[in-house]
Structure 1
């Protein structure tokens, strides 16, 4: 049938109305450079985004498509000169798996002098995330920063008055020495180097160092503040509290939860918590206690765990440090101590996890190197296998139809429900396990015997240790996803696996760009000292 000229405009308008909205691109440029920085008063060369620590905030809105142009300008030979970026907690649908950023799993690193643009359609995700280098121990050299996805229609907006760049609490451990030498030492003796300091929003102090100014969070009496806590550590957990104040937890790892009031939060490496603090105390200055755990200070005399902190400053108070002592926060036996227990959190929008189709048991262990007379050069294992990065990224092998593997890879079918159980162990370790590209239901938390298959929380980092942990997730996003301990020293010693879900679906759905294809050729052509 031939359309009349009168009909054409109406017909076209229907097509326009039916078309999906064009993506809103959010362009960010990060220059990865070596910069001399002194966050705790000690100047050292760093690997940094745009020459700063923490790296610049990547601010996005629900529905954005992020395009993060990453220019590698690294030159310092004492640290890795190639790099990658991982966006912790961001989902990656299968066609976009090649932008996920895990070296030798979904991509090759970006060599010095090269650039790559990561494209991240954010879909309906909102909440608190962060980015960091995933290559070796490089993010402990400084390459880490916040990524926040704001929701213009936030269902929790009635709980707070202020939520902006000033309400991000970026917490991290910090080393004075470059990590190449530290990693070499760790690989030999399996003693994790103890950090020199803990930092709150890029500020801190160490024993014998200068009295650098602490970072300040300013509040106004009567207002409620959504503070977004990011533990961007390479090793350490942090015990977080604010003198004379309580914290209402409303989000974990980007997922909203029902308000849960506590006074103490123990955040493992890689975990994020959104909390609401009400400025309801007398005008003054109060310590924000971020007490670093992980390694005895006697192993590094620079470390003073009470020096990693910030200041909650009320408008109208003197511009001065709090007059009260630097404590470790409320301790056991103190009526003011209300500790956050992960299993007590409930999701704002509960989704009961489906029954598991496949059950995996992951046993973590450390085995010494039998060829070493000292027993050093040990490796961490999952089910007696230590992860070793392949020379060819797992995704490349999948796309090439190569089924060989040298790494600890679990082949899982698409569109199934997978349960991973970490049984109780005798290890004196709590491993914060992180799943890339997805998140999981926490069916059983390490500190509780409760099995919750009705309304468990979802998150992407949870601790596995002596108490046993059960996690469940779906494989509705096929791809090779890294699953690892977020203590990066452990990860680099093999405590990781690849969950390769839906290999055939991945092969048919992923069509990488030429720029991605070029990364491996360029990286493999580099001399070893530039990789």
Structure 2
């Protein structure tokens, strides 16, 4: 991986946040508990928000403040991260990255995240970011709507009924899965794939598939979220075309496809027109994540759903179950074909720093979470240079208000790593699936795959602070495939003034017995 440092261009226009007069505070409570859950027909104990998987949908409008009280009783500590909420520096202590911007909170305690949403328009996946706890069920969608959406003329319906989720699911706990992985270096293969929280495993009960209802001659904006801890999903809908209009919360030039592959943590919006005869149609959500021979429960074709036209019977489609159109294939979505609506930047490079990447390492360093969070070191200890952090923290320090280019050379192991940047998104100058370098109108998103094709990203340090940059396969980043991007440490100290509730998190966490951490 290489970092290139450049002067910013057009940053004010790109990052302007417009306050809306009608903004309100949206209050939600997430009661985090250990409880039974059986999305694929197998009952296990999971870590759940309000006792459900997926967790409750959190919605707000652009310009609102999202205020989430996390409360409850669970065996382990936790912290909540809102992937895709690009909060400002002065609120970075609510960003939720454990041991980067905060300490976790323990059982029978609570913490309130207050997130001003500015002019964001996005869909994202929350919640847990601690170790691989996410795999135990503490995940759910967050949708932020734009009442003045410039794409509104492309669709008729966009509400909670059009939120689609795919996720991998394990019958064993994440702690046993992580122990197995660390001993064997083989990531556990999930027992099933889920669509909208329902699926089946090989030989298991015929759990009802989740159905999505549509009315003929109506256009729907579907918001598709991959909430997987590991797996990619290839999604298609029999007999229907999908018009992609957004990636990871950022509008794109509409492009028609018949199949979308999304990696862990990625999100897309697509428009579907209900223009087929009244019937039930398969929603194909085909899981890809490891060697199926490692888990006989996994049948990748069983994590599917049903598109049900109004007037169709309450039944499964009568057509055969297939994997849908091929990807790669002539109708498949290629990230390299996505375009921003307008040109974004024109940069001049100044210097560079080489970073070699190997599997589970960045710059030959495996990331190990520090005992004292990065933000605490910056605010309390005056940490300002890379030498002020442990080598294993893998913290890269840059000046504020610069544009950084990150180059991932081709990975000879042919692993796909969906890399995610917290607090910011990036321009995908070169996608892994193409040799084309696009510096005119590349898309902006916050998760993009690194693999054997090589990838080039650019992002800005116009929001000072430490931001986690890691592989979104939770087992990979738990084993070291992570880093911290720190922009403007001096500016961070000037802008960040946490409340006493945040100040008390680390002492309270440190006082917990190890079994509760």
Band the TM-score falls in, shorter-chain normalisation: over 0.9
Does the 8 Å CA contact 2:41/2:204 hold for their aligned counterparts?
yes
Q: 2:365 aligns with which of 380, 385, 388?
A: 385
User: For 2:314, what is the secondary structure of its paired residue?
Assistant: coil
- Aligned equivalents of 2:425 and 2:240: distance in 1? 31
In structure 2, the CA distance between the partners of 1:156 and 1:333, relative to structure 1 (3 Å rule), is: closer
d(CA) in 1 for partners of 2:495, 2:235: 43
For 1:530, the equivalent position in structure 2 comes to: 516
| Shift of residue 349, structure 1, vs aligned partner | 4.1
Distance 1:230 1:357, change over 3 A: farther
1:167·1:226 contact (CA, 8 Å) conserved in 2?
Answer: yes
Query: What TM-score do you get using the length of structure 1 for normalisation?
Result: 0.91
Counterparts in 2 of 1:459-498, with a 5 A limit? 459-498=445-484
Q: Which of 508, 512, 517 is the matching residue for 2:503?
A: 517
Q: 1:310 to 1:508 in 2, by over 3 A?
A: same
SS in 2 for 1:98: helix
Q: Pick which of 244-253 and 397-406 moved more.
A: 397-406
Q: Does 1:354 align with 2:347?
A: yes
Deviation at 1:401, TM superposition (A): 2.6
Q: Is the 8 A contact 1:444 1:471 kept in 2?
A: yes
Residue 358 of structure 2 corresponds to residue 365 of structure 1: yes
Judged with a 3 Å threshold, the aligned counterparts in structure 2 of structure 1 residues 333 and 230 are, in CA distance, closer, same or farther, namely closer
Q: Distance in 1 between matches of 2:112 and 2:345?
A: 37
Residue 318, structure 1, aligned to residue 313, structure 2: yes
Please state whether the residue corresponding to 1:188 is helix, strand or coil: helix
- Give the whole-Å Cα distance in 2 for the aligned partners of 1:101 and 1:20: 25
- Cα separation, 2, equivalents of 1:457 and 1:93: 22
Structure-2 change in CA distance of 1:226 and 1:357 (3 Å)? farther
3-state SS, counterpart of residue 400 of structure 1: helix
* C-alpha displacement of 1:350: 3.6
Name structure 1 gaps, 5 residues minimum: 1-18, 76-80, 367-379
Query: Any residues of structure 2 matched to 1:195-210 within 5 Å, and which?
Result: 195-210=190-205
Could you list the runs of 4 or more consecutive aligned residues of structure 1 that deviate by over 4 angstroms after TM superposition?
A: 19-23
Q: Does structure 1 conserve the Cα–Cα contact (< 8 Å) formed by 2:235 and 2:284?
A: yes
CA contact (8 A) 1:218 1:315 kept: yes
Change (3 A) 1:243 1:43: same
* Structure 2 residue aligned with 1:58: 58
Q: Residue 421 of structure 1 corresponds to which residue in structure 2?
A: 407
The answer for the alignment partner of 1:405 in structure 2 is: 389
Match of 2:507, SS state, is: helix
Q: Does 1:250 align with 2:250?
A: no
* Equivalent-residue separation in structure 1 for 2:327 and 2:78 (angstroms): 43
Name the counterpart of 1:371: none
- For residues 163 and 360 of structure 1, the distance between their equivalents in structure 2, rounded to whole angstroms, comes to 44
Deviations 1:123-181 (A, max 9, x none): 00012112120000001000000010111111111111111101011110000001101
Query: How much does 1:383 deviate?
Result: 1.2
Q: How has the CA–CA distance of structure 1 residues 315 and 111 changed in structure 2, closer, same or farther, with 3 Å as cutoff?
A: same
Aligned residue runs from structure 1 range 31-430, under 5 A: 31-75=31-75, 81-331=76-326, 337-366=330-359, 380-403=360-383, 404-406=388-390, 407-430=393-416
C-alpha change, 1:360 and 1:171, in structure 2 (3 Å) is farther
C-alpha separation in 2, matches of 1:276 and 1:359: 41
Cα RMSD (Å) of the superposition? 1.5
How many Å apart are 1:113 and its aligned residue?
0.9
2: distance between equivalents of 1:51 and 1:153? Answer: 34
- Matched residues in 2 for 1:362 and 1:148: separation? 35
The answer for the alignment partner of 1:27 in structure 2 is: 27
Confirm or deny: 8 A CA contact 2:214 2:274 kept in the other structure: yes
Distance in 2, matches of 1:432 and 1:173, equals: 15
CA distance 1:356–1:56, shift in 2 (3 Å): farther
Whole-angstrom distance in 1 between the partners of 2:389 and 2:111: 27
**1:331 positional shift:** 2.7
- Summarize deviations over 1:159-208 as a string: whole Å, max 9, x none: 11111101011110000001101101101111000000000010000011
Count of aligned positions: 493
**1:508 Cα deviation after fit:** 1.4
1:35 CA displacement: 1.4
CA distance in 2, matches of 1:351, 1:259: 17
**Alignment partners' CA distance in 2, 1:190 and 1:513:** 41
- Listed one character per residue, the Cα deviations across residues 410-447 of structure 1 (whole Å, up to 9, x for unaligned) are 01110011000001121220100000000000000011
Q: Which consecutive unaligned segments of at least 5 residues does structure 2 have?
A: 1-18
8 Å CA contact 2:20–2:62 kept in 1: the answer is: no
Pick the structure with greater CA Rg. 1
Once residues 222 and 20 of structure 1 are traced to their aligned partners in structure 2, the CA distance between those partners, rounded to angstroms, is 33
Q: 1:133 to 1:331 in 2, by over 3 A?
A: same
Q: Determine if contact 1:360/1:419 at 8 Å carries over to the other structure.
A: no
Cα distance in 2, alignment partners of residues 217 and 353 from structure 1: 43
Q: Which position in structure 2 is the counterpart of 1:370?
A: none
Is 1:456 the counterpart of 2:442? The answer is yes
